[in-house]
Amino acid sequence: MVSAMVHTSFRVMAAVAVLLTLNGCSPGPSDPTAWNGIYVLDKEQSDDIDQWSSVQLSLSASTDSVHIRRDFASGRYKRFDSYGVPVDGVAHDVPQENSSKWLDNVHIGVFFRAGEPSTLSAEFSDDYRTLTTELLQTAETSTGQAEIVTSRVFELLDDGSQIRVVEKRSTRDEPLTFVFKRKTEA
């Protein structure tokens, strides 16, 4: 399972964000903590996720860092990946911890081998209304290895009630769009 924490300061930042929220400082449009919460995929408004019955997105952000976790489920089977990086637009190492199928499409013959390098960058823009990430991974395929660059643009919409993610992969001809509805506050 992928799990990468890059900055030790991240947890402190997240805790501060939570405290601010609890103290009644409700996040405004220019506040990264407005992203914080759990969101559930709206399958009607999203591209097909055939192999999964549900996807949940958990976000925790501050002015310094962001932590993104995705939980996939199909019946009794559950998987997740999780990344935490500074929001400085710089590619940070997030090495593959365990060998794994490709959670973005478990029905494709793409695998990730433990220890393979990968990087992730993240950056807020548009007054914290947009979060852009770029993930570089080295995949194992039947004929060898291949690089996959996955760019995701997250947009916080409708006063924070939903997130739209437009995903472009270097290996796929067309972008994918996913819409998540807010399930919980931070």
Partner 1 sequence: MNTSLARMKRSVRFASILVVLLGSGGLWTGSASGQRAYVMDLPGDWTIDGDLPSNAMLISLQGIANKKGPALYFRYPPGWAFKFTTPVFNYYKDERSISFSELGSPEDAIAALGGFAKGYVVWDKSVRTSLTVAFTVAGLEDAIVVSEEFVPLMEQNGLKEIEDFRGDFDGMTDYEIYSWAIDKYWARCSRDFVIWMGGASGKQMMPGVADFGIYKRAFFTDLSADPADSLEYALHRKILGDMKPTAIVMGWHSYAKDTEGQHVSLISSFGLRMEGLNTLPNASFSNQIPTTPGFRFTNNHHIGRDATVVPEEKVYIAAIQTDAIGIGAWEEAGRGRIPYAWEVTMNWTWLFPAQMQFFYETATENDYFIGSLSGPGYMYPKPIPPDKHRALIREAANLMKGLDLRVFEIMDYSEGNRYVGNIDLTREVIDRYYAGMPDAIGFVNGYGPANTSDVRDGRPLMSYDYYLTPTRPERDAVLDLKELITLNPVRPYFLLIHVRESSAIERVANILDQLGPDVEVVPLDVFLKMAGNSPTFIPRHLKEAGAAEYIMTDE
* Cα 19 → chain centroid: 23
**What minimum distance in Å lies between the beta carbon of 169 and partner 1?**
7
Q: What angle do CA 104, 105, 108 make, to 5 degrees?
A: 145
Q: Which is nearer to partner 1, 74 or 162 (CB)?
A: 74
Q: Which is nearer to partner 1, 43 or 181 (CB)?
A: 43
**Distance between CA atoms of residues 106 and 81, nearest Å:** 13
Residues that bind partner 1 (CB under 8 A): 47-48, 50-51, 74, 76-77, 79, 98-101, 105-111, 113-114, 139-144, 146, 148, 169, 171-174
**What minimum distance in Å lies between the beta carbon of 168 and partner 1?**
12
Distances (CA, A) of 78 to 39, 55, 57, 130, 167: 16, 10, 14, 29, 22
Q: Which is nearer to partner 1, 19 or 114 (CB)?
A: 114
Neighbouring C-alpha atoms within 13 Å toward the C-beta of 32: 21
Q: Which is nearer to partner 1, 7 or 69 (CB)?
A: 69
